[in-house]
Amino acid sequence: MISLACVPVITIANADLPGVDNFINEMTTRYGFDKTELYQLFAEVEVKPDILRVISRPAEKGKPWHEYRRIFLTPQHIQGGVAFWKANQASLTKAKKVFGVAPEIIVAIIGVESRYGGHTGGYRVMDSLSTLAFRYPPRGRFFRQQLMELLLLAREEKQDPLYFTGSYAGAMGLIQFMPDSFRSYAIDFDKDGRRDIWQDPTDAIGSVANFLKRKGDWQADAPVATFVKVEGTDYQRWLNKGSKPSIPLQQLAQAGIQIPASVSKNMLASVFTLEQVEGPQVLIGFRNFYALMRYNPSPLYAMAVYELAEAIKLQLKGRSS
Active site residues: 113
- Asked if residues 92 and 103 have their Cβ atoms less than 8 Å apart, the reply is yes
SS3 124: strand
Residue 282 sits at φ, ψ, to 5 deg, of -85, 135
Burial 204-226, CB ≥16 within 10 A → b, else e: bbbbbbbbbbeebebbeeebbbb
- CA 157-104-184 angle, to 5 degrees, is 25
DSSP secondary structure, 221-250, as one string: T---EEEE-B-SSGGGGGTTS-SS--EEHH
The C-alpha atoms of residue 97 and residue 170 are separated, in whole angstroms, by: 31
CA distances from 132 to 125, 162, 168, 237 (A): 11, 16, 9, 38
Q: What is the Cα 90 distance to its own chain's centre?
A: 24
Type of residue found at 261: A
Handedness of CA 47, 204, 157, 179 (dihedral sign): positive
Spatial distance between the Cα atoms of 240 and 247, rounded to a whole number of angstroms: 11
In angstroms, how far apart are the furthest CA atoms of the chain? 91
**Can you state the angle between helices 89-99 and 103-114, rounded to 10 degrees?**
120
Residues 188, 190, 194, 195: is their CA dihedral positive or negative? negative
Q: How many CB atoms lie within 10 A of CB 150?
A: 26
